[in-house]
A and B are shown apart, each in its own frame.
Chain A
Amino acid sequence: MSVKSAPAPVPPAPVPAAPAPARARSGGRWADRLLRIYAVLLLAWLFAPIVVMIVFGFNDTKSKSNVTWQGFTVKWWGRLGDYPELMTAVFNSVTIALLATAITTVLGTALGLAIGRYRFRGAGATNVVIFAAIASPELALGASLLSLFVSTGVQTGYATVVIAHVLFALSFVAITVRARVLGMDPSLEEAARDLGASPWTTFRLVTLPSIAPGVVSGALLAFVLSIDDFVITQFTSGPLTTFPLWIYGAVRQGVPPQVNILGTLIFGVGVVIAITHSVLARRRVP
């Protein structure tokens, strides 16, 4: 039946339809072209500093400062260990970021579930505090944390940096998780309970898979925020050095090409994470 009737409606359709798209296309051509130019310019503007950073990791510089191009070399890649304090700083940055991300993800997921799901005394205040933590200037947060640690006699160092990073990244995880919780059908969990699942099994088998994309986004945000944080780390690190702090300290004598290489490596890891994330996101459950 459908085979027979198929050819009939096809021929008349293109006749009236043809002129309309043609006109639309010629009208939209300039808009299209402008949009493309704009996109290219924007990307160039965003990527120029990164390209410069990567390129200058291969600069055969003779002086201490690495600002003028003096020829191509890969020798710096073999001399990463020239600055042991730099390696320590990078190690600190990475371990702090991993630790802070792990803690933040657990606490932020719990917080996101709580504010997304339940109405409790102080829920409104919690929401305000979460947004305030995001909106407040890092400078204020760092300074107030420092005075808190000093007044309570806590020695600033590795632990206080982790605490500080957890503190400011927590809100981001809570917000991304909350968004997933709000979009989740509450009867899913009831269905699981109804079918004999305990509260914990329900969380593990139904709730967690449903909010997982939010948890992953939040964790990635937390990691990225932690690894390149400067302001709050500066206030709370005491004698500890992290990668951003070391670079800031080195600026006065000139930043060696090794920094560019480490920056390139961190950027590379970031790109891999971002690609993985967007691939995973495409497989998200609606």
Chain B
Amino acid sequence: MTDNQVGVGAADTAAPLVSPVPAIELHGVVKEYRVHGELVQAVKGVTLAIAEGEFFSLLGPSGCGKTTTMRMIAGFEDPTRGTVSLHGGDVTGVPADKRDVNMVFQSYALFPHMNVWENVAFGLRRRKTPEAEIKRRVGEMLAIVDLTGRERRRPRELSGGQQQRVALARALVNRPRALLLDEPLGALDLKLRQAMQTELKRIQREVGITFVYVTHDQSEALTMSDRIAVMNNGEVEQLAGPREIYERPATAFVAGFIGTSNLLTGTVDRVDDGCAVLALGDGGRVLVAGSAHAAGDTLQVTVRPEKITISAERPSGRVSAARGTVEDVSYLGTYTSYAVRLPEGTEVTVFQQNAFDSSTTAEPGDSVWLSWQPHHSFAIGS
């Protein structure tokens, strides 16, 4: 596995590559701001290609450059270096009103002095669409977002979810070749958020256009996206499908940012049948399948909490095994979370499903064995 999966070449993914020409292509894009005379790099060389019809997410912590990247695609910012292409044509330096993409703003940015109908018709009016066609398309779009009958309302007379749908309709009615959404569900409560996630996916399938979705919510990105670019500090750390991002994080940052992850460090003892073996204290060991490491290498290995099994006896077979002491047990409904301290001091989190006849119950202070399959250990790039 490569350390830095930035780029067009990330083909080992679930991307529905319909068209050979990417809908959106960033090449070596850098954005610098001058803040109080000091140069700040908000985006540090991002290269990626988004396929036609794809649901693509930019995921990362606050301040990692997601919005800046999206604003360069929309045309609100010009890259300091690098190029932006839409459907094969270089649009670097082209203003926003001349680009065939539309954006849904985090604040919705609905025009407060116009009603719902006028808001949605705004884009079509600018392109001198015939009035009869505007009438038809706006009506259709309001039906899709379930706002028929609210045409005469002003934005402030709508609920947050309704405003969000107006913003979506206002962008989609223009049939852009790509839709950019900057944390569009950020202002909604959890329930509405989940309903809107399903809704957005449905609409995307229905209209079949490319969605670029900015979020800092990992579960949102995992459930909705075809592919995800995980960003950190202005760079793309990993670009892959949701399953791969979750199961095979490429860097320690990705492992830590997506879900809960355990990080173990050790030195390769020997390589056995394509499987690196790291020795842990107290007779424990970690097997890493398919790793290209040699004896003597120091490795960082991640393993997801739900892949680990707890047992009282040392497990047999070709598995990773570690001895530890239970420090904390939290019952969380569908599963129980255990915090287990290894002899070398590392704390490991373990999730055990609360099955009907759950017998593996451990108490704080118990000495237990943890085990997991070799293919659930991942060596990550440093």
Q: Do A and B bind each other?
A: yes
* A contacts, CB < 8 Å to B: 185, 187-188, 190-198, 201, 205-206, 209-210, 285-286
**B102 close to chain A: CB less than 8 A:** yes
Decide if B102 touches A194 in the complex (CB within 8 Å).
yes
**A165–B105 CA distance with the chains assembled, in angstroms:** 43
Most B CB contacts (10 A, CB to CB) among A193, A201, A285 go to A193
Residues from chain A with a CB closer than 8 A to the CB of B107 are 185, 187
Interface residues of B in 100-155 (CB under 8 A from A): 102-103, 105, 107, 109-113, 122-123, 126-127
Shortest CB–CB separation between residue B169 and chain A, in angstroms? 12
B156 within 8 A of A: yes
Chain B residues lying within 8 Å of A196, measured Cβ to Cβ, are: 97, 123, 126-127, 174
Q: Which residues of A contact B156 (CB under 8 A)?
A: 285-286
Between-chain CB contacts (< 8 Å), 22 pairs: A188-B109, A188-B112, A190-B76, A191-B103, A191-B170, A193-B96, A193-B97, A194-B74, A194-B75, A194-B103, A194-B171, A195-B123, A195-B126, A195-B171, A196-B97, A196-B123, A197-B97, A197-B122, A205-B111, A206-B111, A209-B111, A210-B113
Which residues of chain A are within 8 angstroms of B97 by Cβ–Cβ distance?
193-198
CB distance from B116 to the nearest CB of A (A): 15
CB within 8 A of A187: which of B95, B102, B109, B122?
B109
Contact present for B174 and A209 (CB under 8 Å): no
Contacts of A191 in B (CB 8 A): 103, 105, 109-111, 170
Nearest Cβ on chain A to B101's Cβ, whole angstroms: 8
- In the assembled complex, which residues on chain A have CB atoms less than 8 Å from the CB atom of B76? 190, 193-194
In the bound complex, how far is the Cα of B155 from the Cα of A137, in angstroms?
45
B-chain residues with CB within 8 Å of residue A192 when the two chains form the complex: 111, 122
Query: Which residues of B lie under 8 Å from residue A286 when comparing CB positions?
Result: 112, 156
- CB-CB nearest in chain B for A202: B97
Q: Is the interface of A mostly helix, strand, loop or mixed?
A: helix
B102 to chain A: which residues have CB within 8 Å? 194-195
Q: Which chain B residue shows the least CB distance to A187?
A: B109
A188 CB contacts on chain B under 8 angstroms: 109, 111-112
A198 to B96, CA, bound (A): 9
Chain A residues with CB under 8 A of B103: 190-191, 194
- Establish whether residues A194 and B96, one from each chain, have CB atoms under 8 Å apart when the complex forms: yes
Known: A201-B126, A286-B156. A190 touches B105 (CB 8 A): yes
In the complex, A197→B95 CA distance in Å?
Answer: 11
**In the complex, what residues of B have CB within 8 A of residue A197's CB?**
97, 122, 126
Which chain B positions have C-beta within 8 A of A198? 97
The 6 closest A-B pairs by CB, nearest first: A195-B123, A196-B126, A191-B109, A187-B109, A193-B96, A285-B112
Q: How far is the CB of A236 from chain B (nearest CB, A)?
A: 40
CB-CB nearest in chain B for A188? B109
Q: How far, in whole Å, are A201 and B126 apart by their CA atoms in the complex?
A: 9
Q: Which residues of A contact B110 (CB under 8 A)?
A: 191
Beyond the given A190-B76, A193-B95, A194-B171, please list 18 additional residue pairs across the A-B interface where CB-CB is below 8 A: A185-B109, A188-B111, A188-B112, A190-B103, A190-B109, A192-B122, A193-B76, A194-B76, A194-B103, A195-B97, A195-B102, A195-B123, A196-B174, A197-B97, A197-B126, A205-B111, A285-B156, A286-B156
B36 to chain A, nearest CB (A): 12
Q: Is A195 touching B170 in the complex (CB atoms < 8 A)?
A: yes
Distance, CA A185 to CA B171, complexed state (A): 18
Nearest-CB residue, chain B, relative to A285: B112
- A residues less than 8 Å from B109 (CB atoms): 185, 187-188, 190-191
**Among candidates A193, A205, A210, residue contacting B112 with C-beta atoms closer than 8 Å:** A210
Bound Cα distance A185, B105 (Å): 11
Report the minimal beta-carbon distance from A210 to chain B, rounded to whole angstroms: 7
CA distance A225 to B205 in the complex (A): 61
Taking CB atoms, residues of chain B closer than 8 Å to A195 are 97, 102, 122-123, 126, 170-171, 174
When distances are taken between beta carbons in the complex, the residues of chain B under 8 Å from A187 are: 105, 107, 109
Give the shortest distance, in Å, between B156 (CB) and chain A (any CB): 7
B70 to chain A, nearest CB (A): 11
Question: Considering only CB atoms, which chain A residue lies closest to B182 in the complex?
Answer: A187
Q: How far is the CB of A244 from chain B (nearest CB, A)?
A: 39
- Complex Cα distance, B99 from A283, in Å, reads 36
- Which B residue's beta carbon lies closest to that of A197? B126
CA distance A210 to B112 in the complex (A): 8
- The docked-state distance in angstroms from the alpha carbon of A187 to that of B112 is 12
Q: Which residue of A lies closest to B76 (CB)?
A: A190
| Residues of chain A lying within 8 A (CB to CB) of residue B75 | 193-194
Query: CB-defined interface of B155-177 with A at 8 Å, one 1/0 digit per residue?
Result: 01000000000000011001000
Which B residues lie within 8 Å of A201 (CB)?
A: 126
- In the docked arrangement, what's the CA distance between A286 and B113, Å? 10
Alpha-carbon distance between A196 and B105 when the two chains are bound, in angstroms: 15
Within the assembled complex, what's the spacing in Å between the Cα atoms of A193 and B113? 17
How many Å from the CB of B178 to the closest CB on chain A?
A: 12
